[in-house]
Amino acid sequence: MRILLTGAAGFIAGHVADVARERGHEVVGLDMWLDAAHGPDAPRDPDIIDADLRTATIDPHLEGIDVVCHQAAMVGNGVDAQDLPAYAEHNDAATARLLAAMARAGLDRLVLASSMVVYGDGRYDCPEHGDVPPAVRREDDLAAGRYDPRCPVCGGDITWRLIDESTPFLPRTSYAASKVAQEHFASAWCTLEGARAVALRYHNVYGPGMPADTPYSGVAAIFRSALARGEVPRVFEDGRQVRDFVHVRDIALANVLAIEQVADHPQGLTPYNVASGTPFTIGEMAATLSAAAGAGGPVTTGDYRAFDVRHVVASPQAAADGLGFRAHVPPAEGIAELATAALRTR
């Protein structure tokens, strides 16, 4: 298959291109070398089309393409409200333009990079009220070191549960809002065009070539960069917040399976969680990484960020059933390898 791969100069798409080519596909890469991800003077790769989806004429790049794999995005949590327009423009307006161009080209297959952040704080079980969305964490609770969210009805203790793809959207950050909107635009395009899309909701992605620490980096890059500077990871809250760390090669495999099978899906947008299926606490992750780097143990600081979600762990079962995807890299192994893997510096 001939694939247009957006965001091709990025961390995840670079691995998608490798796995796609290994499986015999032809990849046409496109990127705009976003400053926030690559730095202002990043050298261009002549094998990747240099085009900004917000403004470029996309139509010629879609000639002869079978499937679009849309990885280009402004990532991170967002720094402050001044980021809102950039998230909307890069992740939503640019996607809308891409979808309109795909419609003009008669292209009806899309694989979209989405994120578990669409679920926000996920779902919990209250002993009294059953399956509930957690209440937004209160400042006085956080300041007092009570990090777990409360039941939105009774204010009591609740327990996190595995979430599936039918879990309602609850975006908490600029980035999360832009990813929800992106899924909605793709879904509307499917309806208008009778098209098919697969949205892959990535969990916390890590692996070789991930960008070094920037204001938009996730925790794995932040900890790995701290170790590279000779510092130890600084773990927020009490370190018992839970995530699912999924290796970038597994993310790449999920994408290529989706590229190969999107045409077999029902018309419309089908979402899949992409996760390792082995939850880890942030404290465990920091300890594994530090030990593998031969550094001292991490420091648990009790710092917190208002926008952080406490636990987000989703079931990978639908991706196993629908795409035949199962993660191969156990997080304990992959995170230990990350301690010495090269990071991308631009």
Nearer to ligand UD1, 7 or 65 (CB): 7
- Residue 125: CB atoms within 10 A of its CB come to 14
> Per DSSP, what are the bridge partners of residue 272?
200
Nearer to ligand UD1, 77 or 270 (CB): 77
Closest CB 263 distance from ligand UD1, rounded Å: 26
Q: For residues 249 and 78, what is the distance between their CA atoms, to the nearest angstrom?
A: 25
Task: Give, as one character, the DSSP assignment of residue 343.
Answer: P
With tokens 């070094």, the residue in question is 212
Nearer to ligand UD1, 109 or 216 (CB): 216
Closest CB 305 distance from ligand UD1, rounded Å: 6
Structure tokens at 178: 């832009």
The torsion of the CA quartet 245, 246, 248, 254, rounded to 10 degrees, works out to -160
**Which residues contact ligand UD1 by CB under 6 A?**
75-77, 115-117, 175, 202-205, 217-219, 222, 234-237, 241, 243, 282, 305, 308-309
Cα angle 222, 225, 229 (rounded to 5 degrees) comes to 135
Strands of 106-187 (E only): list them. 109-115, 124-126, 130-132, 159-160
- Residue 145: CB atoms within 10 A of its CB come to 10
Nearer to ligand UD1, 76 or 149 (CB): 76
Nearer to ligand UD1, 214 or 317 (CB): 214
Closest CB 5 distance from ligand UD1, rounded Å: 19
Closest CB 274 distance from ligand UD1, rounded Å: 9
Closest CB 292 distance from ligand UD1, rounded Å: 18
